[in-house]
Amino acid sequence: MTLRVIPFTTGGFPMAGDTVLYAEAANPHLDTVHMDSPTGAVFYDAPVQLENFRRRLDLIEKAALTPRESADFIHTVAREL
């Protein structure tokens, strides 16, 4: 697992506040997205839906700090507490 931080200074980003799990399989046809909703779990597995989520996740990745920058950021915040 890789933890990447998106600082508040970045502003908004796609899917902020949503609980999303993108399960990527060795065979892309088996990829699935799980989202929580007020009425329960929702699953997406249609190719068009998955492509939409991949694009949004790519934007989030671009907004996030690198893994090293994220670790440094977390250590800095911890020292300030």
Cβ atoms 10, 73 nearer than 8 A:
no
pLDDT tens track for 9-67: 888 777 777 888 999 999 988 999 999 988 999 999 999 999 999 999 898 899 899 99
Q: Return the bridge partners of 79, or none.
A: none
pLDDT at position 54 is: 92
Q: Take residue 14 and report the two structure tokens written for it.
A: 């796609």
State the pLDDT at residue 68. 97
Amino acid at 60: I
Task: State the DSSP code for 64.
Answer: S
Residues 6 or more apart whose CB falls under 8 angstroms from that of 69 comprise 5
What CA–CA distance (Å, rounded) separates 33 from 42?
A: 8
